[in-house]
Structure 1
Amino acid sequence: MSAPLSSGIITRTEYGPDGEWQVRHVPGGSSIKDYRCPGCDQLIPPGVGHVVTWPSGEYGSVEERRHWHLPCWNARGRRRPGVRRPR
């Protein structure tokens, strides 16, 4: 299911073994600051497209939003929890 926002950015719901997530693609031109990807622990610099995710439901909050490289988000189920990637 997808829900358009007033800015034209679409948020969709994804379901996986780690739960239900809201996922929003951020085009490179819309990204204006650095974020650290929780999947690879590398910086996502301004101007690089990525996804923002947060848990669905009443417990998903702004503080739970995370910015991921798209390949890292897609591979999250194959990563071992707690393993830090080199910077």
Structure 2
Amino acid sequence: MGRRRPGRRAPTPLPPWLGQRRVEAGPDGYDYEVKVVPAARATKPYRCPGCDHEIRPGTAHVVVLPVDHGDIEDRRHWHTACWNNRANRGPTRRWS
């Protein structure tokens, strides 16, 4: 059994934003894990499936992952407002 060295600190807890997640029921009957990404952690651009606009780096948003019917490849980055209003709008249509 190892001994603790004097002056050694306990590991720093994870930042609060990493634990900031919730599970929401979607209008399709499935559950989704929703994680908040603060602006300081948003370093890459993404395409929001709700409005089909770019989520620029430095923009706070949410990452949504299906709980029981998908894997990590099914996660999507959404504008927070688009996710909150997804039941009030029709599907996004891309024009060629």
Q: TM-score, normalised by structure 2?
A: 0.74
Unaligned runs of 5+ in 1: 1-5
1:65 aligns with 2:75: yes
Aligned to 2:6: none
RMSD between superposed Cα atoms in Å = 1.9
2: CA distance, partners of 1:64 / 1:37: 13
Would the aligned equivalents of 1:40 and 1:85 in 2 still touch at CA under 8 Å?
no
Give 1 or 2: higher strand fraction.
1
Would the aligned equivalents of 1:52 and 1:66 in 2 still touch at CA under 8 Å?
yes
| SS of corresponding position for 2:49 | coil
Identity across the alignment (%): 48
- Of structures 1 and 2, the one with the larger relative CO (CA 8 A, separation 6+) is 1
Q: In structure 2, what residue type is equivalent to 1:24?
A: K
Aligned to 1:37: 48
Q: In structure 1, what residue type is equivalent to 2:88?
A: R
Q: In structure 2, what residue type is equivalent to 1:53?
A: V
Aligned residues: 80
Which one has a bigger Cα radius of gyration?
2
Which of 50, 55, 65 aligns to 1:54? It is 65
Q: TM-score, normalised by structure 1?
A: 0.81
Report runs of 4+ in structure 1 exceeding 4 Å deviation.
none
Aligned to 2:21: 11
Unaligned runs of 5+ in 2: 1-13
